[in-house]
Amino acid sequence: MFSSRLPRSLEANPFTTLLAEKRAAGAMLIDLTLANPTQAGFAYPATPLAQPPGHGGCPSSPLAGQQIYRPTAQGALEAREAICRFYRTSRQQLIDPDNLFLTAGTSEAYSFLFKLLTNPGDEVLLPAPGYPLFDLLAELDLVTPCRYPLRRDGQGFWRLDFSHLRRQISRRTRAIVVVHPHNPTGSYLSEEEMRRLGQLCRDHQLALIIDEVFFDYPAAGGPANPVPAVAENTALTFVLNGFSKLLGLPQAKLSWIHLGGPPALRAGARERLEFIADSYLSVGTVQHQAAELLAGYRPAQEEIRQRLASNDAALAAATGLKALPREGGWYRIIQLPPGWDDESCCLELLKRHNLIVHPGFFYDFLDEAVLVVSLLCPEADFRRGLELLQEFLPAPLQ
């Protein structure tokens, strides 16, 4: 009766099951995985979007002035121009509104690209460790997700291993996905890695998908000036970003694909993306608020950055906890002592201490047992969570 593109079992895993039981029992949980900025106690921004219905945020209907529906496949030009202004002022990056496609969230952008680039059974290369959502999105579009490993360099940052990556390319590979900075490791791509990726994709006639949703959150230990992905002429390239992380407004459901590459390929991609986007026309009225929302990017990002830095400092000061270095993004990886199992550790922490942390295997950490925590949590919760971890874990790792 149902499609085989869905997971064979939709049953919850032991961790999610225990969490649901705890919640149903009304347990007071400390959530070190909280990554939803709307639940993290931020004050930004004073826009109608931030106000729940009935709280007086909207002077009139949010749809006022938008009664005549004139949809465009690429998204409203005024919104695309506002995004270009943002790139110019915040990064001195010049992009063309003609090369932007708006989508209802970055997940949808992936889905559009998989439809654009693949036939059923084709492969896309995804990083391991990596964010588990990408596998699901690929499979929902009948694409086979394949992994390429990231390797830690001498300083503990995660880098591309080009010889391994090259070996993963098969006759069915259609695209390579990179995340810049990566989720959850937080490592940015270097300019050199970006250049080599472009060449690799060009040589193998692959598309390059660069996810930049966390780009604006560099950490103190990261590169002084991370290099934004340039959708330039080497390979067909799609750079993804959106309000969910850029402005901490996931409820806006506004993201975009920035299209680049050799002109002929880009033209072919543009007309087909137009066809796909036109079939859904999923971006709603929020696009008409894009300029207004982007005007508030500085305070929103500043507030988020302060939270990340403050929780990062608390983690650095927490004796007994060894975190891997982070260049950017919203997450931190904590190493477990040798011989420890991440899943049983997370189950025990939840069962005994009502503490929610994610096991590394959720993110496909292949070689080591780690915990993944979000730096977005309210500070008091984060500190309490660290204390519980300190009590729970044995002697510090060297």
Ligand X SMILES: Cc1ncc(COP(=O)(O)O)c(C=O)c1O
Q: Which residues bind ligand X (CB under 6 A)?
A: 105-107, 131, 179, 183, 211, 213, 242, 244, 250, 255
Shortest Å distance, C-beta 339 to ligand X: 30
Is 329:181 a contact under the CB 8 Å cutoff? yes
CB nearer to ligand X: give 105 or 261.
105
Is 138:124 a contact under the CB 8 Å cutoff? yes
In the beta sheet, which residues pair with residue 126? 147
Question: Residue 247 gets which letter from DSSP?
Answer: S
The torsion region of residue 236 among left (phi > 0), alpha (psi -120 to 50) and beta comes to beta
CB nearer to ligand X: give 360 or 388.
360
CB nearer to ligand X: give 213 or 308.
213
Shortest Å distance, C-beta 326 to ligand X: 15
CB nearer to ligand X: give 305 or 384.
305
Shortest Å distance, C-beta 244 to ligand X: 3
CB nearer to ligand X: give 173 or 255.
255
CB nearer to ligand X: give 211 or 303.
211
**Residue 178 token pair:** 């990179």
3-state secondary structure of 78: helix
Is 321:114 a contact under the CB 8 Å cutoff? no
CB nearer to ligand X: give 179 or 346.
179
Shortest Å distance, C-beta 33 to ligand X: 12
Alpha helices in the chain (DSSP H): 14-24, 77-91, 106-117, 133-140, 162-168, 191-203, 243-246, 263-280, 290-294, 297-317, 342-353, 379-392
- Residue position matching structure tokens 């901490």: 248
Shortest Å distance, C-beta 267 to ligand X: 27
In the beta sheet, which residues pair with residue 372? 333, 358
Shortest Å distance, C-beta 250 to ligand X: 5
Shortest Å distance, C-beta 52 to ligand X: 19
Helix pair angle (342-353, 379-392), 10° resolution: 110
